[in-house]
A and B are shown apart, each in its own frame.
Chain A
Amino acid sequence: MRLARAYGRAMWDARLVLAYTLLLSLTLFILAPFLMIALRSVGKGWFGRLWLPPQLTLDWYRWAVEVGNIPEVMKNTLIIGVIAVAVSTVIGIFAGWAFGRRQMPGKEVLMAIILLPRMIPPITYALGVAQIFYTLELVDTYLGVALAHVSVCAPYAILVLSATFEGLDERVLEAAGVCGANTIKRFFYVVLPLIMPGILASMIFSFTHSYNEFTLTLLTYGPHTVTLPVRTYLAVGDGYWEITSAMAMLMVVPSLLILAVIQRRAKPEKLVGGFKGV
């Protein structure tokens, strides 16, 4: 115990050095994988103990586009993402309005139940979703895969938008009413601008979840609805690491764009409120 305390003290005294060491190692830990992917995607003949690839090439990108069919896959991912975001946002706005602004008996319990999917590993209900979609012939359709994504995105949208509607100040609406705004004007000039940031945050995060969703997609996709994560998985299975790296590079770009938007527009704490599509 005494030793531990002495050790703690010594670490504390060296805290500045330790802090920068930690930050540096963390940077390396988090970013090095991407660096490796980037190098791998442009390297040729990179074997043995070499720090950098001996030759550079863009061939792997050509392969990724032509054989890996990345433009098609990107299109699928975007279409599915847009449908999933639209459905989740509608669900989120309606439910958020109800939870955030209306009285109802057993609100907390109901909310806990609706948010239950966040507590359960997606693979458990993915099995059932796949079964149902086989029967309904929704497998391998944009709508089907997008609906599967909604099961992941919607609880998150509900959570964010409930908080948004709850944060809407009743007195501001009242003030607008006193100023002579009718219900419709009140909605467009007061309510909408106030909840817009919440809706935007919910949409951004829903899209991130959909874009990264893998578990449910893997169980509901088909040849016409291959999304980017599934394509990567298939490519890893094929074992062509260079081409896979090139694909991964193409996939990472939109994610980083989203990151930039999140940084500017929303609080990162909100991002962890929902779960990634594992």
Chain B
Amino acid sequence: MTDVTIEFRDVSKRYGTLVANDHLSLAIRKGELMTLLGPSGCGKTTALRCLTGYIRPDEGRIFIDGQDVTDVPTHQRELGMVFQNFALFPHMTVQDNVGFPLMIRNLSKAERAQRVAQALRLVRLEGYESHYPRQLSGGQQQRVGLARALVYRPKVLLLDEPLSNLDAKLREEMRFEIKEVVTRLEITAVYVTHDQAEALALSDRVAIMNRGRLEQVGTPEEIYEHPQSRFVAEFIGLSNFLEGYVQAVDGDTMVVSVGGLQMRIPVLAEAGPGQRVLLFLRPNEVELLRPDDPGGANVFDARVEKVTYLGDTLDYRLTFGQGLTLRVQSDAQRRFGQGAPVRLRFPRVRCWAITGN
């Protein structure tokens, strides 16, 4: 396991009766950008603070580069961190802010200046050396924070919701920039966020957390296409859930009965006939057809309950089968009015199911 840079081994942290981290075990590989994703209060920040040493876990150990750091004080852990509220030193210039970790490490003045210049070039902030943080915009301040975290080439870069204090447009720009810097330096990074779009765009792997536990760890594709639980599916932006049970398995396809209808979807390894399953469908992956279009497999009659105009798409609420409702978004070229009969087609490979209820 030499390629593991960070490892949480069975880490737990409680605040009174509140369990912030519940036997958390997670390994982060060298040079990878791992995102801890989850709603507020899911324990992702606690996990990060355990990593910095600001919080001591009640149980479990934490390893960085194979070394047990659970009892190592924060300042000896050789980490770099970017904060949500930037946390720049307001009484220091940009130069001194970025140079602070080097000053603490007693580097010579000349070397300090050179490394600071290098770090500032990396975040494209040359020429701002003598500015104070309050003279900079939010995006610039966060770049200073990034430079300060990277200047002494730490083993690990931690990012605690670094973009959530920026406005929407800047956020996308910075997202790209952070990704680029991290890739260029080939540094191991842990990124904490509650924004799923950010997590999918940035990460090599995503760890989704809920109530102090890990729900799923995987690449953005795995997480997005094959969520392993209803929580992950919901959090990642799925909104159609259909409950049913397996009727038959036929090669790589299984037939699922949902509200009296038969749907054919890719087979689940562990599912045999009679197994209850939960189907996930993305609103934009269901096809809307006219009622007189030809039928076939996975094509069902439905009725428009409600239409909402969203500009380039229309958002439909449909009813079909025995009391099933479904949200579908389709382009505005084909329009159906309220109460109109339509046909739905579920592309076989787009349906994803998990076992259980």
**Contact between A and B in the complex (any CB pair below 8 Å):** no
Seen from chain A, the residues whose Cβ lies within 8 Å of a Cβ on chain B are none
Seen from chain B, the residues whose Cβ lies within 8 Å of a Cβ on chain A are none
